[in-house]
Amino acid sequence: MLGSVRQLLNGDPSIGWLQPLPGEPPVDRRETLLELASGRRVIHLGFTDDRQTEAKLRDGRWLHAALANVSSELVGLDLDVPGVEQAVGQGYEAYLVDVQDRLAVERLALPPADLVIGGEIIEHVESPGLLLRAIKPLLKEDGLLVITTPNAYRIAGFLAPLLGEELIHPDHVGIHSIHTLRTLGERAGYRVDRLGYYQNSPTIESTPAGLLARLVRSIQAAFLRFRPHWSDGIYAVYSLPT
């Protein structure tokens, strides 16, 4: 039965529409990025979190500040003028640059990093392939590039159309899957070291709606341990081929 369904979905066997998915349980996005950044020189792309920086600073949820606490060196790159100015004013090393523009990236003449983090940025850019190629000069020969992005198949995204609406950030121009991250990385000339899923750990208030949300998240977490493919997001770890 499953074989017949697979054959039906796969369509033209010369193309092969069905692609393999990882089966490991989702990781915690924030904890994983902090673990990878520990003791390393890090370049953080899209670090200002756009209009959410102030709120995240107040709540202690700004990822860039947490990375500063664990990394040996930290540099932020972004196109958000007020956000970059604010970070520089607070003592962070940060630069205003379009990371899709390789010449602009090269003009910064930054020492390459052990780890480049592109967290929740690839879905905002018009040319993700150009982005991946443009940031190669930022990476040491043995360094790692980590990309995270919302999952095209996350559960909430499937539920929203029941309301006649689409659940998506208003600035997003793309949505990605495990296969698209694999293919983008390979076409940009990277070695794809790891692909997987992540879950966010949102702050939930102790209200009736919040308690319901906690219950739903706990049920979801138990389910995703065995079927991670509907997790909040996906990540890819790339490196430069030797």
Is residue 220 one of the residues assigned to a domain? yes
pLDDT in tens, 98-149: 999 999 999 999 999 999 999 999 999 999 999 999 999 999 999 999 999 9
Q: How confident is the model at residue 215 (pLDDT cuts 50, 70, 90)?
A: confident
Is residue 8 one of the residues assigned to a domain? no
Is residue 3 one of the residues assigned to a domain? no
pLDDT the model gives residue 56: 67
Average pLDDT (55-83) is 90
Alpha helix segments (H runs only) across the chain: 2-10, 29-37, 53-59, 63-70, 81-89, 102-107, 128-134, 155-159, 178-187, 208-224
> CA gyration radius for the chain?
19
Per-residue burial over 148-177, b if 16 or more Cβ lie within 10 Å, else e, is bbbbbbbeebeeeeeeeeeeeeeeeeebbb
> Which domain range does residue 210 map to?
22-239
Is residue 214 one of the residues assigned to a domain? yes
Is residue 124 one of the residues assigned to a domain? yes
pLDDT the model gives residue 60: 73
The span from the CA of 188 to the CA of 23, in Å, is: 25
Q: Is the pTM here over 0.75, yes or no? A: yes
Is residue 1 one of the residues assigned to a domain? no
Phi, psi (degrees; rounded to nearest 5) at 110: -80, 140
Is residue 96 one of the residues assigned to a domain? yes
Is residue 4 one of the residues assigned to a domain? no
Query: Any idea which residue has 């121009």 for tokens?
Result: 173
Residue 114, domain CATH? 3.40.50.150
Q: How many domains are there within the chain?
A: 1
The span from the CA of 58 to the CA of 54, in Å, is: 6
